[in-house]
Amino acid sequence: MRKCVLLAVLLLLSACSNRVGHRLDSGNLQHIHAGQTTRSQLIALFGPPDSETPYTDGQRLLKWTYSEARTLNTTEGQTLTVQMKNDRVLNYALSKS
């Protein structure tokens, strides 16, 4: 009986999380090289970006975002931001929260 109650509590707690986006595989970051990696290569690594902002000077800002809200008010998040020009990576940053 005690195991059943514990299992029920664990199931309820696991159901109390909310995820947005796809978790980023930080191992794929080693495949990003400034001046070499293209937009299509980034999409092959991380999937389509969550947002893409074009600028008049030919640059683009691509973002991939993942966040997870869990029970007890804890959250986890990752954002990969890539600045591109002429379809090549200029620079990128991965932030975690």
Q: Is the pTM of this model over 0.95?
A: no
pLDDT for res 14:
53
Q: Are strands 51-54 and 88-96 parallel, antiparallel or unpaired?
A: unpaired
Q: By three-state DSSP, how is residue 71 classified?
A: helix
- Domain residue spans of the chain: 18-96
Closest by CA to 41, choosing from 33, 54, 57, 66, is 33
Closest by CA to 82, choosing from 19, 96, 51, is 51
End-to-end alpha carbon distance in the chain: 39
Q: In the predicted model, what is the mean pLDDT of the chain?
A: 83
CATH 3.30.1450.10 fits 18-96, yes or no: yes
Residue pLDDT tens, the chain, 97 long:
666 555 454 445 555 557 666 778 888 999 999 999 999 999 999 999 999 999 999 899 999 998 887 666 667 789 999 999 999 999 999 998 8
